[in-house]
């Protein structure tokens, strides 16, 4: 099954920001495009807005004047659904209400030809449920574009329970012909991106609710240590707190209130207060004119230790040993079968976060995971109230000697980056095991859909295939609610790996 022929008209129903973006994508690809909106004159206004964006593309040299003129000639507002009768594809981008979408598609079935592909751009509703209202649901598919549709490459092609393989394939190939990067997925709450991305927000909010760190510090650690483009607090302010919380709540409810997807009470209070982010001027941050952006907590300068004793293998943080030597600090290595740590001159220990807490041990400072310890510009440290002041000082000075800003946070298991990445890896394994998507499509979706520095499976391979399961096991012991319990898929993956490595 191939992509739609460029001579085939494409219709977009719903002319808000997303509808206009999808229409522009189809139009620039070469299709005749019809715009329809139930609100009178809205389609004409949308056509004018799309024309203005085409003008800007010409000004930027991204589109020729001739191609713009040809595209404008192919764009036509429609006053009635009947004008969509000859379309080969109709994409819906209307209000996120099941009854509204079902009513629209029932009406479209009476208008379009039997071989017309019908698609929804829903981000939160069940594709199966929307298609359930149709007489011929086999031709119904989800085409989930990301905003802004003309710029972001990812499209999730979602097969409902009744979607024909030929329909899903045609939608997939059409999205690819439009210059997008499609990924195929089953109809599951949140699809790929909105399902697997939940821990990025949830764990940041959980650290905040535990009063372990403020939003500015958590965001800085996620960016400067974790390698994420934006922190969770600034990103939700950009998205809109109401929008982000709505998606989280929808996924949680759709999974029958699975504790792994529990919404944040702190975010709920933010929404209730009307602080929705940039669009209202205030969210987690104050975006009003003249407001100062809060700075992350950064420790004062401390003296580095003269030496460290490396016991055992530091695993994902093994690159630190070379960096410490390069900084002129002596490293004494000792074989140690009972754990991995750096022992500081004062006798305290510096340990890569593993899901345990500092208060459980004598004089231990934990340090957080980094995407790349050489490139990281900030490292988070956590200690309990019982940790010695000298140990905290020596640990701080060590990372400062490596050129890092240091943020001291509260004694929370898994810290910030590690618990976030471990949970993302777990949800990715769970999704693949349940047939939602392939590993390759999951990695592609998370890199392109939310700009993660690595896909979950890429991260898993880099960190070691047992790392996430081990961290989550320790987290689960300290919070037995089920939120951190590793999925059966991750357990199988981890133990199979251990068995193979043991046999070798």
Residue 438 DSSP SS3? coil
Query: For position 504, what pLDDT does the model report?
Result: 46
Query: What's the whole-number mean pLDDT along residues 124-140?
Result: 95
Q: Is the model's pLDDT at 454 over the cut of 60?
A: yes
Q: Is the model's pLDDT at 38 over the cut of 70?
A: yes
Residue 382 β-bridge partners: 366, 409
Query: For position 335, what pLDDT does the model report?
Result: 76
Give the pLDDT band (50/70/90) at residue 496. confident
Q: Is the model's pLDDT at 476 over the cut of 60?
A: yes
Could you give the CA distance from residue 101 to residue 431 in angstroms, rounded to a whole number? Answer: 27
Query: What's the whole-number mean pLDDT along residues 403-427?
Result: 98
As a whole-number percent, the residues of the chain with pLDDT over 70 amount to: 97
Query: For position 316, what pLDDT does the model report?
Result: 95
Query: What's the whole-number mean pLDDT along residues 392-398?
Result: 98
Residue recorded with tokens 């709540």: 249
Determine whether 123 is an active site residue.
yes
Give the pLDDT band (50/70/90) at residue 313. confident
**In Å, how far are 88, 155, 252 from 176, measured between CA atoms?**
16, 9, 31
Give the pLDDT band (50/70/90) at residue 124. confident
**Catalytic choice (83, 109, 156, 234):** 156
Residue 91 β-bridge partners: 12, 119
**What's the longest Cα–Cα distance across the chain?**
80
Q: Is the model's pLDDT at 461 over the cut of 70?
A: yes
Query: What's the whole-number mean pLDDT along residues 4-23?
Result: 96
**Would you say the C-alpha torsion 223, 228, 230, 232 has a positive or negative sign?**
negative
Give the pLDDT band (50/70/90) at residue 1. low
Determine whether 194 is an active site residue.
yes
User: DSSP secondary-structure letter at 277?
Assistant: B
Query: What's the whole-number mean pLDDT along residues 397-426?
Result: 98
Q: Is the model's pLDDT at 336 over the cut of 70?
A: no
**In Å, how far are 262, 268, 366, 414, 473 from 482, measured between CA atoms?**
11, 22, 24, 15, 10
Query: For position 500, what pLDDT does the model report?
Result: 60
As a whole-number percent, the residues of the chain with pLDDT over 90 amount to: 95
Q: Is the model's pLDDT at 337 over the cut of 80?
A: no
Determine whether 144 is an active site residue.
yes
Give the pLDDT band (50/70/90) at residue 338. low
Q: Are 199 and 423 in contact (CB under 8 A)?
A: yes
| Average pLDDT of the residues of the chain | 95
**Catalytic choice (31, 83, 124, 144):** 144
Determine whether 476 is an active site residue.
no
């Amino acid at each position: 099954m191939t992509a739609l022929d460029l001579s085939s008209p494409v219709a977009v129903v719903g002319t808000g920001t997303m509808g206009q973006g999808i229409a522009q994508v189809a139009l620039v690809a070469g299709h005749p495009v019809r715009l329809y909106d139930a609100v009178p004159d809205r389609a004409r206004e949308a056509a004018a807005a799309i024309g203005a964006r085409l003008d800007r593309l010409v000004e930027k040299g991204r589109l020729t004047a001739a191609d713009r003129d040809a595209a404008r000639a192919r764009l036509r507002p429609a006053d009635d659904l009947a004008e969509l009768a000859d379309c080969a594809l109709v994409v819906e981008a209307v209000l996120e209400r099941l009854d509204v979408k079902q009513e629209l598609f029932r009406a479209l079935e009476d208008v379009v030809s039997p071989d017309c592909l019908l698609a929804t751009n829903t981000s939160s509703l069940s594709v199966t449920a929307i298609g359930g209202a149709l007489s011929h649901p086999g031709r119904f598919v989800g085409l989930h574009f990301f905003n802004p549709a003309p710029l972001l490459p990812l499209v999730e092609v979602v097969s409902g329970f009744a979607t024909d393989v030929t329909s899903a394939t045609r939608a997939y190939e059409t999205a690819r012909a439009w210059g997008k990067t499609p990924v195929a997925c089953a109809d599951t709450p949140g699809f790929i991106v909105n399902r697997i991305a939940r821990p990025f927000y949830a764990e940041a909010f959980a650290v905040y609710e535990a009063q372990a760190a403020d939003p500015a510090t958590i965001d800085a650690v996620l960016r400067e240590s974790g390698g994420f483009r934006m922190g969770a607090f600034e990103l939700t302010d950009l998205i809109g707190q109401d929008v982000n919380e709505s998606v989280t709540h929808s996924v949680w409810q759709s999974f029958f209130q699975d504790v792994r997807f529990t919404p944040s009470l702190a975010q709920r209070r933010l929404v209730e207060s009307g602080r929705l982010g940039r669009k209202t001027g205030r969210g987690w941050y104050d975006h009003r004119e003249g407001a100062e952006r809060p700075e992350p907590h950064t420790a004062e300068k401390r003296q580095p230790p003269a030496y460290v004793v490396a016991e055992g293998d530091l695993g994902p943080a093994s690159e630190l040993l070379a960096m410490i030597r390069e900084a002129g600090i002596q490293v004494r290595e000792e074989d140690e079968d009972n754990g991995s740590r750096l022992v500081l001159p004062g006798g305290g220990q510096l340990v890569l976060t593993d899901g345990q807490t500092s208060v459980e041990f004598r004089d231990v400072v934990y340090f957080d995971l980094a995407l790349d310890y050489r490139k990281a510009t900030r490292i988070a440290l956590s200690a309990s109230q019982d940790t010695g002041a000298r140990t905290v000082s020596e640990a701080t000075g060590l990372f400062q000697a490596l050129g890092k800003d240091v943020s001291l946070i509260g004694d929370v298991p898994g810290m910030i980056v590690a618990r976030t990445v471990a949970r993302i890896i777990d949800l990715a394994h769970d999704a693949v095991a349940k047939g939602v998507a392939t590993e390759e499509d999951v990695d592609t979706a998370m890199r392109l859909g939310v700009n993660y520095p690595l896909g979950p499976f890429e991260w898993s391979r880099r960190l070691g295939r047992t790392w996430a399961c081990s961290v989550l096991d320790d987290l689960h012991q300290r919070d037995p609610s089920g939120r951190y319990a590793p999925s059966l898929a991750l357990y199988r993956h981890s133990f199979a790996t251990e068995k193979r490595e043991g046999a070798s």
